[in-house]
Amino acid sequence: MSFPALIITWLNVLMNAAGRFLLCWAPFVPGWVSNTIISAVVGVILLIVFKYISNQTAIGKVKDNIKANMLALRLFKDSMIVTLQSQGKVFKGAGLLLFYSLKPMLIMIVPVCFILAQMGLWYQNRPLTPGEEAIVTVQLGEIEGDFPDVIINCNPVAIVETGPVRILSKKQICWKIRAIEKGNHIITFNTGDEQVEKQLVIGDGFMRVSSMRPGWNWSDILWHPAEKPLTADSAVESVSIDYPERGKKISGIDQWLIYFFTASMVFALLLKPILKVKI
């Protein structure tokens, strides 16, 4: 059993509860508004965390030295020796700033990954609309002997249009389904004595969408946190639904990740002087 996968699974329980509570208002405002508010809050929180876990005194001294050497470059631009020395000290200062920022960045990257995983449930994909088609894929694990029979049961919320299609080289079984009934549903897959469940979201609003139920792989569990991972001894490694991506570029949804990082950095830089943080 993978220890990182077990830890992330338990943390996802807490993050899912927090995500549902803290983002319960997101469906009621435009996507760009919710993304901007989340980016601003996260940017300010990370800025405050950076202030208290970084060496602010050392960063302040390095920045003062850089300013002094930049001034020397202007005042003594006719002196080749002073210019070269000042440039060298500026580059050294830049390296020291990177060094002092490395530790807090490594600490903050862990909670940021969990935050991004929760945001991805809202901003990466949209739900299926009634009448829309999608591909459902069951990824199998190690196969001994004949290819197993897997039966999908999605009635009455969806109809199987095509399948099962078996891709032997990839150990996958695929179906094309057509969405029928709005809501958060559960579809099931039977393989032998095992039954596997997968969420299916159908609607036309801003809804929380889980595109994959992961297997016992820590990276898949991290980036697809909404559903409980399949056990390590399951014949099924994962179940995924090919939901459409959100496509409103002007709202920061299509490129939500870039929008998030840009907006959070802007808010952090704007509030940096007020919170007296040295970066």
Contact 166, 147 (CB under 8 A): yes
CA 105 to chain centre: 17
Q: Dig out the tokens for 26 from the structure.
A: 């997101």
Q: What CA–CA distance (Å, rounded) separates 219 from 214?
A: 9
Q: CA nearest 152: which of 179, 129, 183, 175?
A: 175
Could you give the CA distance from residue 202 to residue 210 in angstroms, rounded to a whole number? 12
Q: Which residue has the tokens 């949209």?
A: 126
Angle at 190 (CA atoms; ends 169, 1), nearest 5 degrees: 70
N-to-C CA span, the chain = 41
The two tokens of residue 120 are 């991805």
Predicted local confidence at residue 203, as pLDDT = 94
- 8 Å CB contact between 128 and 243: yes
Per-residue pLDDT of the chain (279 residues; tens, 9 = 90+): 578 899 999 999 999 999 999 999 998 998 889 999 999 999 999 999 999 998 999 988 888 888 888 887 777 777 778 778 888 888 888 898 889 889 899 999 999 999 999 999 999 999 999 999 999 999 998 777 677 889 999 989 999 999 899 998 899 999 999 999 999 999 999 988 889 999 999 998 889 999 999 999 999 999 999 999 999 888 899 999 999 988 766 556 668 888 999 999 999 999 999 988 888
What pTM, to 2 d.p., does this model score? 0.86
Neighbours of 115 (CB within 10 A): 18
pLDDT of the residue at 32 = 87
Phi/psi of residue 92, each to 5°? -65, -40
